[in-house]
Amino acid sequence: MKKQNFQFRTGRIWVVMAAIFVFAAATSVNAQTLIGHGNGQGKGIGLGNGISIGQGNDISKGKGIGLGNGIGKGIGKGKGIAKGKGKGKGKGKGIGQHPEKNKGSSARTLANLQDMGKLPSPPRPPVAIPLEPSPGKRIVPVEDTLQGARSIGLDLLDGRVSLSLSLGGDSSASNTLILYDTTGPWGFLGELYAQMTANLVSRFGTWQAYPVGEYSAGEMTDYSAVVYIGSTYDEPLPTAFLTDTLAGTTPVLWMYDNIWQLTAHSSDFHAAYGWNWAGFDFSSISTINYKLVDLNRNTLNQGGIMTYANIDQSRVELPATAVRDDGTSFPWAVRSLNLTYIGEVPFAYMDHEDRYLVLADMLFDLLAPETVEQHRALVRIEDVGPDADPQELIVIAQELSSRSVPFSVAVYPRYEDPHGAYNNGVPESYDLADRPDVVAALQFMQSQGGTLLMHGYTHQFGELINPYSGASADDFEFYTAHVDANDSVIYDGPVPGDSQVWAANRIALSEAAFVAAGLEVPTIFEFPHYAGSVPNYMAVDERFGVRYDRGLYFPGNLSQQPIDYSRLAGQFFPYPVRDIYGSWIIPENIGNIEPEPFNNHPARLPADLLAAGEANLVVRDGFASFFFHPYLDPNMLVQVVDGLKQQGYEFVDVNSLIP
C-alpha cells in the first residue's frame, strides 16, 4: 500500500516557463536587424523562479523576466519586454536532473525534473551573416600563424594531421584556460557555460576560468589549451586574445559567436586555416552525426549553427556533421592547425543522446589524445530506506551478482512520514536500526558486490511538503521546491536555515543512523533528487569529496558574486570529473526506467536506456551509468545490464573510480 498513490517522484519536473520576452538591449546590434527575428509567442525555457530564457516551443506563463528572442514586433515598437502566455509545459527530454520513484498510478501529474536546469541556447543571432568588424590595429600576418603552428609540430603541408598527434599528452598535466562572455542581458549564460566547460575539462587536469574581457597578452602560452565560449553576439574581444589565438602556438577550442572577430584579425584567415565561416543556419537541425552515430539536437534550439565557406578539405578536419531535417548537411565543427571551431554551444538543451557528447569526446583530442578507448558501465539501486522491501533487494543482488555486475545502493537511513501520507494520516518515523530485516538485506547486497551510498538522511525536509508528500524518498531534503498550478515542480532555492553547518549536521545524523544499524558509514554521497545549495555542496565536499551526481550550477560560482539560485544549470557527465565544487563526481548519464508515460513525457523503458548507452559509445573513454528503483520488475534491470554488456560496456565497481 505504501506509496502506491504517488507517481513520478522526482524524476521530472516541468520547468516554469516565464514569459517571453525580448530584451531589445541585447548586444551591439542595431534595432533594424532585431526586427522579425522572433519565433512567435510563448517560447522559452524557464530557469528557476520564473526567469525564462531561450527560444523553444515551450509555452510559458509566469512571473519573472523573460530573456530571449521572441517576438519581433515587440522590439519594433520599442518595447523591451514582450509578453508570453501559455501553460508552462515543455517538451523534449531533459537532462535528467531527477532520479526518483514512480510507483503505481496516480492522479498526481508531475513535473519534470528532467527539464530542470536545462540551459537554453544563447539568443538567435540578429543576422545570419555577421558583419566582420573593421580590422583592428594589429593584423596578424598569415605567416605568423603558420610559423607558430609549425613550432608546435603542426605541419601545414599535412594539415589533416590532428592536433591529437602532436599536442596534448599526459592528461594529468593538462591545464585549460576557459574564457567566457559576460556582456549583455545574456551574460549570465557565459558563466554557466564556463562552469559546465570547467567540469568537463577537469577530467583532464586543472583549469582556470575568467571573462574573456580580462584576457591579457601572452597568457595562453601558460596553458595546454584554451576553450572560449562565444555566447554573447559581438562580445568585445580583447585584441590580445585574437592575436594570441592567431599566433598558432596554443590549441584553442572556440564555440559559436564572434569567430568573425578572429577572422577579421588575420591578414588572410583562409590562407592560414583553410576555411572561413559563411553565416548562421537557422533551419531545423535535430541530428549531429559523429563517428557514424546520430546524436540528438533539440529543435527548441533556435540559436543557429555556423556554416562555412571554402573549406580546403586537404587541410581541415571535419569531426562532425550537422544534418538538417531535409537531409542536407554541413560541417558542425572544423579543425585545422591550432584551432577547433564548433558552430554552436553544445551545452544548450542537453539530453541523454545529445551532441553534447561530441564535445565531451572532442576534448580528448584537445587534452588527452593518447587516451585508450574503453567503455565502462555503472548501475545504482535507488531510494532504499528503512521502508524498503528486503525481498526485492535480495532478488536484485542475486540477479546482479550472478552476472558478476558490481552495483551501488543509494540508502537513506531514516524514514519520515510526518503527515502520515502513507499511513492513514498517522505520522510515522523509524530508523534502519528499527528494521533488522532491511539491514540484513543491505548486508546481503554488500556481500554480493553492492556498495552503499549515503542518499541523504531522510530524503525529505521536516514537515514541509517539498514538494509532494513530506515523506521520505518523495521529497527534496537539501533544496526546496513546490508544485505550481501547472503541475510543474519549481525549484525554489536553499532550505530554511540552510548553511554548510546545517548540511554537515544532517550528514552527521545520517552517519549515526548507519552506525546504529551496524553498517559502515558510506564514503560516497548522493543528494536526494540531485539537488543541493552551494553550501551543501561544500559540506559534502568536506566530508566525502565524492558525489554520485548530476550537479546544479549557479551564476556567482565563478564570478564570486552572490549565488543566483534563480538561474541554474544542470549537467550530467559521461565520465568522472572533479566539478567546480571540488568533489570527484561519479557520473550518472543515461537515466532510469520510468515505465509509465506522464504529461508529455514518454515512458523510459530498457530500450531507451540502451539507446542512450549506444550514443555514449562515441565518448572514447566514456560511461553508461543508470539507476533503478527496486520496486520495478527486476527483468527490466537485467535487460539494461545485459544490453549494455552487449554494446561493449564493462560494469565496474564504483570504488574503482575514486582517485
Beta bridge partners of 179: 210, 228
Q: What are phi and psi of 221, to 5 degrees?
A: -70, -15
Residue nearest to Zn ion (CB): 383
Rg (CA), the chain: 25
What is the nearest approach in angstroms of Zn ion to the Cβ of residue 402? 26
Q: What's the 3-state SS for 434-500? A: HCHHHHHHHHHHHHCCEEEEECCCCCCCCCCCCCCCCCCCCCCCCCEEEECCCCCEEEEECCCCCCH
What is the nearest approach in angstroms of Zn ion to the Cβ of residue 480? 16
Length of the chain as a residue count: 659
Cβ-based nearer residue to Zn ion, 115 or 383: 383
What is the nearest approach in angstroms of Zn ion to the Cβ of residue 9? 7
Cβ-based nearer residue to Zn ion, 358 or 453: 453
Q: Which three cell numbers stand for residue 465?
A: 511538503
**Residues in touch with Zn ion (CB under 5 A):** 100, 383, 528
Cβ-based nearer residue to Zn ion, 344 or 526: 526
What is the nearest approach in angstroms of Zn ion to the Cβ of residue 382? 6
Neighbours of 531 (CB within 10 A): 28
Cβ-based nearer residue to Zn ion, 319 or 528: 528
Question: How close are the terminal C-alpha atoms of the chain, in Å?
Answer: 43
E strands in 54-163: 66-67
Cβ-based nearer residue to Zn ion, 367 or 473: 473
What is the nearest approach in angstroms of Zn ion to the Cβ of residue 456? 8
Cβ-based nearer residue to Zn ion, 347 or 468: 468
Which residues, including other chains, have CB under 8 Å from residue 405's CB and lie 6 or more apart?
379, 449, 641, 651
What is the nearest approach in angstroms of Zn ion to the Cβ of residue 528? 5
- d(Cα 549, Cα 356) in Å, to the nearest integer? 18
Taking the CA atoms of residue 286, residue 288, residue 294 and residue 298 in that order, the dihedral angle to the nearest 10 degrees is -30
Cβ-based nearer residue to Zn ion, 261 or 480: 480
Cβ-based nearer residue to Zn ion, 102 or 336: 102
Cβ-based nearer residue to Zn ion, 475 or 487: 475
What is the nearest approach in angstroms of Zn ion to the Cβ of residue 95? 17
Is it true that the peptide bond before 467 is cis, omega within 30 degrees of 0? yes
Which residues, including other chains, have CB under 8 Å from residue 61's CB and lie 6 or more apart?
17, 18, 19, 42, 84, 85, 86, 87, 88, 486
What is the nearest approach in angstroms of Zn ion to the Cβ of residue 103? 13
What is the nearest approach in angstroms of Zn ion to the Cβ of residue 10? 7
The answer to whether 43 and 142 have CB atoms below 8 angstroms apart is no
The answer to whether 32 and 67 have CB atoms below 8 angstroms apart is no
